[in-house]
Amino acid sequence: MRNGFREAYYRRFHWILLSLIGSVDFVRGALFIALIPIYVPEQLRATVFLSGAIISAMYGADTIFKPTAGWLVDYFGPRATLLISLPCALLGLSFFLWSKSGAILILGAILYGLGCAPVWPAVVSTLVEYSPTGEKAKTLSSIYVVWLLGMGSGAVLINLVYHLGPKLLIAILVGVFCIPLILALNIRKWISRRRTTKEASAGRHLLRMTREIWNFRVLLPGAFTQTLALGMLLPLLQPFCKQVYGLNQRAYGILMLAGGLITIAMLVPIGKMVDRFGYRTFLVVGFFLGGTLLVAINHYPNHLLIYPYAILLGISYAFILPAWNGLLANRLPSEVRASLYSIIMSIEGLGVAAGPVIGGKLGELFSYSFTFGVSATALFIMGAFYLILLRRPQGGRAGN
């Protein structure tokens, strides 16, 4: 009866948590993906390196603090943790409203990253724990869709309304960020503290986790490299499109919208295909397709092809994301799955954090074109890596 009540109530409260993660990532996408790369060079007259440093500082703080944030969520519960962390993120966000100092903006990005670090552990752990039996995969898919919608819509809308002025837009984003604070207040107390089990000692659990990390070591460099390759383009993509393809903010926003919508539309159907046919083919095709498109965008610029390029890039990402999650789901043991997931997310986050600062520096020292070539090469390496590593079926599933 109690389980039935919890599942029934889940139908009512899950939208609160999905809206929370969507609004947080809306602000993240609007500020750090769309606004910072154009605001810093044009308004502050600073180099693209500072743009990359600000983006890297935010993702770096989020990544480094995430394992600790997950423990805080487990121990104190999602509600208490978020009500402490989200005001920290709001404080960091406000720095962008009143300061033009590079050091202060980097500090604001760090505070935002620290404050947002518990959001994913809180939302994912709570929704998966309370989701109805047999709907956990559906629940995870909904989280990724909301994340992409939030991040993508933030980046697109900022480009469409950039003419209003960066200061006004930042003020609006500060107001928008009050929404997740209100939503966190509405997380019910009966899910505010998670139950912990002590079936094994902390030392035993740590030993098991260490052993599984060692068994999983061959995939860890790939987790870092694939996010590094994409992160390198974050501070350069918008200036590159403006310089090479002549796109203004509005046109760039429409371009991002086209690629984002095709990704979101294809995630669920491709996920079902990954479940049926295995993840190997989709990983290999996704990385090779992505690398090929970066080469084409870089060396064969054509104003008529820029939107097909964006749509195909969205398809390549829709191939990679479900296949990578399928790979993890098949290989991670259930006993330490949550711990390993947090470690892998941190390694992925390190790639996202290091990518913008490396990409910004390469773009400054050499050229945007050179950086695109480095990113494409990394994607080709990852495609070959999975082609060789996963040449044999895993877990007895053909085609994996």
- Residue 235 belongs to domain with CATH number: 1.20.1250.20
Count the Cβ atoms, other than its own, within 10 Å of residue 163. Answer: 9
Residue type, 335: E
Residues 238 and 295 in one domain: yes
Domain assignment of residue 97, yes or no: yes
Residues 66 and 92 in one domain: yes
Domain assignment of residue 306, yes or no: yes
394, β-bridge pairs: 397
DSSP 317-381: HHHHHHHHHHHHHHHS-GGGHHHHHHHHHHHHHHHHHHHHHHHHHHHHHT-HHHHHHHHHHHHHH
Domain assignment of residue 138, yes or no: yes
Residues 179 and 217 in one domain: no
Residues 43 and 99 in one domain: yes
Residues 67 and 16 in one domain: yes
Residues 91 and 236 in one domain: no
Residues 297 and 333 in one domain: yes
Residues 255 and 388 in one domain: yes
pLDDT in tens, the chain (400 residues): 455 556 666 666 788 888 999 999 999 999 988 888 888 877 777 777 888 888 889 988 988 888 778 777 767 778 888 999 999 999 999 998 888 888 899 999 999 999 998 888 788 777 766 766 655 556 666 777 888 889 888 888 888 888 888 889 999 999 999 999 888 887 765 454 444 444 445 556 566 667 777 777 777 888 888 889 888 988 888 888 888 888 887 888 788 878 888 888 888 788 778 777 778 888 999 999 999 999 999 888 888 888 899 999 999 988 888 788 767 766 766 555 556 667 777 888 788 778 888 998 898 888 888 999 999 999 999 999 888 887 654 443 434 5
Instruction: Pick the last residue of a domain from 168, 191, 214.
Output: 191
Domain assignment of residue 260, yes or no: yes
Residues 174 and 210 in one domain: no
Residue 93 tokens read as: 């966000």
Closest CA to 25 of 107, 148, 156: 148
Domain assignment of residue 289, yes or no: yes
What pTM, to 2 d.p., does this model score?
A: 0.69
Residues 185 and 217 in one domain: no
Number of compact structural domains in the chain: 2
Instruction: Pick the last residue of a domain from 162, 191, 220.
Output: 191
Residues 43 and 175 in one domain: yes
Rounded Cα distance between 62 and 150, Å, is 17
Domain assignment of residue 196, yes or no: no
Instruction: Pick the last residue of a domain from 191, 220, 238.
Output: 191
Burial 166-203 (b: 16+ CB within 10 A, else e): beebbebbbebbebbbebbeebeeebbebeeeeeeeee
Domain assignment of residue 174, yes or no: yes
The whole domain housing 180 covers 1-191
